[in-house]
Amino acid sequence: MASANEIDIISELQKKPFSVRQSGEQNILVKQRPIPNLQATTGNRSFQESWYSKKDWLCCSSEKNALFCWPCLLFCPGSSSSWTQTGFKNMKNFLSDCKKHEKAKSHMGAYKTWKTYGFQPRIDCLMSQTRREEIQRHNEEVRQNREMLKTITEAVLYLSRQELAFRGHDESSSSMNRGNYRELLESFAKMDSVFERRLHGRLAETHLAGGGRFTGVSPDIQNDLIDCLDKIIEDEILKEIYCCTFLSIQVDEATDVSTKEQLSVIVRMDKGESVIERQLGFVDVSCDRTATAISSVVKGLRDSRPLLLL
Ligand SMILES: [Zn+2]
C-alpha cells in the first residue's frame, strides 16, 4: 500500500485525466510510468517485477494494489477495461489477459500515441523537409523552363523579323534540314549544354527526371509563341494609337503565296513631330472582297480593340 505522503499517480490521473492537464504537466507525466513492486498473489501465481520490462505499457497503483495499462490510462481512459478502471489483480490469468488487452484496438491506438508522443514535431519537421525539397525541385524546373523559353522566344523573334518560314518539309531526326526553327534551336543548343539537354529531352542528367517535359519544339508551341508575341506587339501599337494626335487607317488587298486574298491593315499616326506607320496585320478576305465586306473587316478591328478609336 502507498504511504500517507506518497502520491499515487494513477489515482490522480483517474481524478484528473491527462487530456485536461497543461501541456507542460503532460510532457512530464507521460514519462512517469509508475512501476512500484506489487505484493500480489493469486493462487500459486505471484506478481513478478520482470513483467515491467516484458510489458513496457504495464504500470501499477500502490494505492489500489493493482496493475494498469499506462498508455490506456493516459490516452484512452474512457475504455471499460479493468486495465484502466479498477486495475488488474488476477495474477493467475496475467499472460492471457495481457495478450487479450494488447490486441484491443483502443489499446493499440493509445500505445501508438504514447510511443510517438513528443516525436510529432520531428515527424512534421521531416515532412517539411520533404516538402521543401519538392518545392526546390519545382522552382528549379520553373527556372530552367523560363531560361529555355527565353532562348526559344529569341528564335521566334529572329525568324519573324527576317520573315523566314518556321517549319521544314521533313522535321524527323534523320532529316538533313529540319526547318529554320529546329535548325536555329540546334545551333543555340551547341552553345548551351543545359538547353541542349532539355531540347533533346535528356532531363535525367539535370536531376529533373521524368518524361513529358517542356521542350518547346511542337508546332502548337510555335504558334502559341507567335500569337503571344503578336499580342504584345499589338498592345504596344495600341498604346501609340492612344497617345497620337491624328490617325488614319490604310487597307490594301494583296494575294499571298498560297493564293489567299489578304487585307493588309496599316495605321498612320501623327505624333506631333513625326508621322509613323504600324501594320496591325493581315485579314483573310478570300471569301468576299466587296467594299461592304472590307468595311466590315475594318469595323470589326475597331470593335475588337477598344483603344483603336476609329
Ligand atoms: Zn492498454
Domain boundaries, the chain: 9-118, 127-217, 243-304
- More confident site: 25 or 302: 25
Q: How far is the CA of 61 from the centre of ligand 1 (A)?
A: 15
Q: How far is the CA of 104 from the centre of ligand 1 (A)?
A: 8
Q: How far is the CA of 103 from the centre of ligand 1 (A)?
A: 9
Beta-carbon contacts of residue 60 (< 8 Å; ≥ 6 apart): 10, 34, 35, 36, 38, 66, 67, 68
Q: How far is the CA of 83 from the centre of ligand 1 (A)?
A: 7
Q: How far is the CA of 115 from the centre of ligand 1 (A)?
A: 12
Spatial distance between the Cα atoms of 282 and 91, rounded to a whole number of angstroms: 97
Q: How far is the CA of 99 from the centre of ligand 1 (A)?
A: 11
Decide: 75 and 113 in contact? Cβ < 8 Å: yes
The number of C-alpha atoms within 13 Å of 48 and in the hemisphere containing its C-beta is 10
Decide: 203 and 209 in contact? Cβ < 8 Å: yes
Spatial distance between the Cα atoms of 116 and 111, rounded to a whole number of angstroms: 9
Q: How far is the CA of 3 from the centre of ligand 1 (A)?
A: 27
Q: How far is the CA of 67 from the centre of ligand 1 (A)?
A: 11
Indicate if the alpha-carbon torsion angle 195, 198, 202, 205 is positive or negative: positive
Spatial distance between the Cα atoms of 297 and 253, rounded to a whole number of angstroms: 12
Q: How far is the CA of 204 from the centre of ligand 1 (A)?
A: 50
pTM of the predicted protein model: 0.49
- What pLDDT sits at residue 124? 60
> For the residues of 166-230, what is the DSSP string, one character each?
---S--STT-S--HHHHHHHHHHHHH-HHHHHHHTT--GGGT---SS---S-SHHHHHHHHHHHH
Three cell numbers, residue 130: 520533404
- Residue 125 pLDDT exceeds 70: no
Decide: 205 and 191 in contact? Cβ < 8 Å: no
244-271: per-residue pLDDT in tens?
A: 888 888 988 888 888 889 999 898 998 7
The number of C-alpha atoms within 13 Å of 134 and in the hemisphere containing its C-beta is 6
- Residue 306 pLDDT exceeds 60: no
- Residue 238 pLDDT exceeds 60: yes
What mean pLDDT is reported for the chain? 84
